[in-house]
Chains A and B, each alone.
Chain A
Amino acid sequence: MKRGFVRGVVLMCLFPLLAFFVSGCSRVSSSQTAPQDEVVTMWHWLSDKEDLLESLAEQFTKETGIKVKVDVFGPTETYKQKVIASAQTNVLPDIFGVLGDKKDFANFIKVGYVKDLTPYFEQNDGEWLHRFYPDAIKTVSFSKDNEYGIKPGIYGVPLDMVTIQFVYNKDILKQAGLDPEKPPQTMEEFLKAVKTIKEKVGVDGLVTGFGELWLVECMASNFAWNIMGEEKMIATYRGEVKYTDPDWVRVFEVFDKMRKAGVFIPGIVIKSNKEAERDFARGKTAFAFNGSWCVNVYKHMNSNLHFGTMLPPKISDANPVGVWGGAGTFFVVNGKSPRAEKAIEFLKWLTEKDQQVRFVRDANSLPAVKGCEEFLAPEVRGFLKAMNFMYHPRNFPVQEDPLVVDTFCRGIQGIIVGEKTPKDVAEEVQRVKDKQLKKRARR
């Protein structure tokens, strides 16, 4: 018995030892055998677009002779770690994506890892620039008075866009005797529609992933945009307007009003967006609040789901309604790359109409480039219609303190579950804001 065990161990030694030495000899990969200065490397995290990007890269090579190697690293958290680690060791590829907020983007620019693409966008009377929707470019640009001290300019190339809107189930609206082609436009109409649907169809009103704070912030800032407008929001972030201002209290009151009207599906504040997507796809609610990526998600979950998009219900006539949006996927060119020119050439080619259509059509995402509308699914076109109402607080010259945003969102969650009043939340947020302003002043 013992001899058999020992013999087994000895035999087991042979394979791993051989394998270990073989592995040590495998340093030179197929890609590394090609001259490095000829191959443009691109890193991305879009695992569902792996084949598409590889075939686009192959097509580009055929057309131009420039070799492009596309590597995918997902999920996003892993990709982020890889990019940060590679930046520290100066082994970033020629093209990569910066995931995170504007501050992270600014940090990469400051250390020279992101090339200023403004001159390339402006070449030939801005031919490249004019291909894009202006809001797609805003996300990858830094304005004159940006708080990060970055030289104004365009630093990235958007490949698609994202808007976050209300979607509604057409069949449920029909069953409730409402016109599925005329969704509610004002908050009053919305509350009335939810009441009718609950009475006649017996399904809940709205579902969204309010367990994820960014969605709370998104909906609340849409209401704020409509109630007080951009200038006042920016003034609040600067500390010139208080959160106890009647307009902000009104924003919080909208959530209270929705709670009292029974709009929210039970447990909404602990729902992830994935769970919320499942609920809406299975017809558990009439309305959902979600990003434009949901078109593909819902189609996967329930191909018989008939849904439409609508703008956020209007609360005030003082300002137009607003929809969060901007560039979704964007790439930057490594400022230290010797192949930067070739990398830019590839990105330029990738944002030509034909390639852009291929990029967005299969994934049902929103194009960053104009002129692709006719190739999109009707639901995607619905999201595209909101383009004129698009804004994003991350594109403001001033950003709100993360701790204030956190308190703001958690306060709204408190209102939704009935633990806090709008006034309580306004005061609580202002207290945190004052504290953070003092801290900033000391610095």
Chain B
Amino acid sequence: MTWTSLYYRAQRFLDYTFTYFVLTFVAILCLYPLWWMFITGLKTDETAFIGLGAIPPHPHWENFYIAWTKGHFGMYFFNSVFYTVVVVFFVVLFSSLAAYAFARLEFPYRRFFYTLLIASMMIPVPGAFIALYVLIDKLGLINTRLGYILPLINAGLPFGIFLLKTFFDKLPRDLEDAARIDGCSRLGIWWHVALPLARPALAVVIIFNTLNVWNEYLLAMLILQDKAKMPLMRGLMVFRGPHSADYALLMAATTITVIPVILVYILMQRHIIKGVTEGALTGI
């Protein structure tokens, strides 16, 4: 073995060590809060802030059961799954159609409408709360599931359209021409060509909207009144009073609420990474 090859081996070893050290550090930074949340869920209120991150000697697994029953999670869980599936579906449907139209169709004021749509991304939802409430009330949709779902779909559209349009803009037109020669209509091209190719971008839209809808709470509080219609985040409120909080149960309950989101992320992970590497996020 020559000195040169030894030198390169040593250099590669150092490079890897440094890279893995940085990646491990970042991974710990990201995972520690989740770990702390889970571990705190196994403690009592008194020990919640002692021995940060350490597994308690007597784990209170029953906290998860208490959190589920006390927080009425069964009912809220179903509601959240329902809202998330409906909203994500319609956001994907409408945003992909609109994005395709903005990317490929020529119609008057196309740029104006697109800019208007993107501008709506700048308005924070809490800033529009009162106006939204007035509108929903005028439509007679206060305290209805529809009254909650519609603003959520509306909130998810600008980002979805923005992301998918960027993706559709990059799709080779030759593919569409070939489909047209084969007799495909505009809608057929969107369905058979554009949509399957946009899977990585769709995965990003799905995961972003799933997160938003799953974690949404403020709008639900504003629009809904009946407990039976509230989403999962309402269940967490039980463990938090104006001055005090039941930290152990709150963390156990939070652990329950994040599990579905983590599962969705794991399922979509492959597509998201592909989306990032193939440029689905180039417009962000």
Contact = CB atoms under 8 A, between A and B. Distances in A.
Interface of A: 2, 5-6, 9, 12-13, 15-16, 19-20, 23-24, 26-27, 29-32, 45-50, 71-76, 78-79, 81-82, 84-86, 88-89, 91, 278, 282, 291, 293-294, 296-297, 300-303, 363
A205 B192 CA distance: 72
Contacts of A71: 225, 227
Contacts of B196: 2, 5-6
A82 B137 CA distance: 13
B65 interface: no
A20 B45 CA distance: 41
Contact of B133 (A20, A47, A85, A303): A85
Contact of A300 (B126, B199, B246): B246
A78 B228 contact: no
Given A81-B129, A85-B129, A88-B134, A5 B237 contact: no
Size band of the B side of the interface? 35 or more
Contacts of B238: 47, 50
A23 B243 contact: no
A95 B218 CA distance: 21
Given A23-B86, A82-B221, A302-B46, A29 B226 contact: yes
Contacts of A49: 241
Given A88-B130, A278-B49, A23 B144 contact: yes
Nearest to B218: A78
Given A6-B192, A86-B133, A88-B130, A78 B222 contact: yes
Q: 10 closest Cβ contacts across the A-B interface? A: A48-B241, A23-B145, A85-B133, A16-B89, A293-B243, A89-B137, A2-B196, A297-B244, A47-B237, A29-B226
Contacts of B141: 27
Interface in B102-155: 126, 129-130, 133-134, 137, 140-146, 149
Contacts, number: 124
B89 A30 contact: no
B242 interface: yes
A15 B87 CA distance: 12
B38 to A, nearest CB: 21
Given A23-B144, A46-B242, A81-B130, 13 more contacts: A6-B191, A16-B90, A19-B86, A26-B229, A27-B146, A48-B242, A78-B217, A78-B218, A84-B130, A85-B129, A89-B133, A278-B49, A282-B49
